[in-house]
């Protein structure tokens, strides 16, 4: 049912250390529109990266999304701008970046707290420059 997306390694660097993930990369508009809709599970060290060529105010929602997520809004240089924790499944309420960002990383709800992720921490992935 789900289109196979390219997977890449990604690392979150926090005060508690380096935390490695394998993330799916949304490369098409269709990938971005589908996101994690209809998925019923998400492993703790996986996620989905939505990356954009130009920074802008990104808005997301949880329509048709069964699992609660932490949405991590990321600046072009890989620094975390803001985290929307524990988003509500199936909600059509808009979750906004609250500033211009270049990417959103979605992980299972609670993962941001588990690794101590906060605004200003670094996300390492080839999209943000050097790994």
Domain boundaries, the chain: 7-119
Give the CATH number of domain 7-119; options: 3.80.10.10, 3.20.20.70, 2.60.120.1140, 3.40.50.620: 2.60.120.1140
> If we measure between CA atoms, which residue out of 46, 15, 7, 11 comes closest to residue 119?
15
Given a cut of 70, whether residue 131 has pLDDT beyond it is no
pLDDT of the residue at 4: 80
Q: Residue 74 in contact with residue 112, Cβ under 8 Å?
A: no
pLDDT of the residue at 129: 84
> 122: pLDDT confidence band, cut at 50, 70 and 90?
very high
Residue with tokens 């490369």: 27
pLDDT of the residue at 95: 98
Given a cut of 90, whether residue 97 has pLDDT beyond it is yes
First CA to last CA distance, the chain = 32
**What's the pTM?**
0.95
pLDDT of the residue at 107: 98
Considering the chain, what is the average pLDDT of its residues?
95
Given a cut of 90, whether residue 102 has pLDDT beyond it is yes
> If we measure between CA atoms, which residue out of 114, 62, 103, 110 comes closest to residue 85?
110
> If we measure between CA atoms, which residue out of 91, 49, 83, 43 comes closest to residue 66?
91
Given a cut of 60, whether residue 1 has pLDDT beyond it is no
Rounded CA-CA distance 116/102 in Å is 22
Given a cut of 70, whether residue 8 has pLDDT beyond it is yes
Given a cut of 90, whether residue 2 has pLDDT beyond it is no
Given a cut of 80, whether residue 67 has pLDDT beyond it is yes
């Amino acid at each position: 049912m789900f289109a196979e997306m390219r997977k890449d390694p990604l690392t979150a660097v926090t005060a508690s250390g380096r935390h490695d993930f394998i993330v799916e990369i949304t490369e098409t508009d269709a990938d971005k529109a589908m996101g994690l809709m209809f998925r019923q599970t998400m492993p703790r060290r996986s996620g989905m990266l939505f990356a954009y060529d130009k920074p802008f105010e990104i808005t997301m929602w949880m329509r048709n999304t069964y699992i609660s997520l932490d949405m991590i809004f990321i600046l072009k240089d890989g620094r975390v701008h803001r985290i929307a924790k524990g988003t509500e499944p199936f909600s059509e309420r808009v979750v906004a970046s609250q500033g211009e960002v270049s990417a959103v990383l979605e992980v299972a709800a609670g993962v941001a707290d588990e690794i101590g992720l906060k605004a200003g921490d670094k996300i390492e992935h080839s999209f943000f420059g050097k790994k």
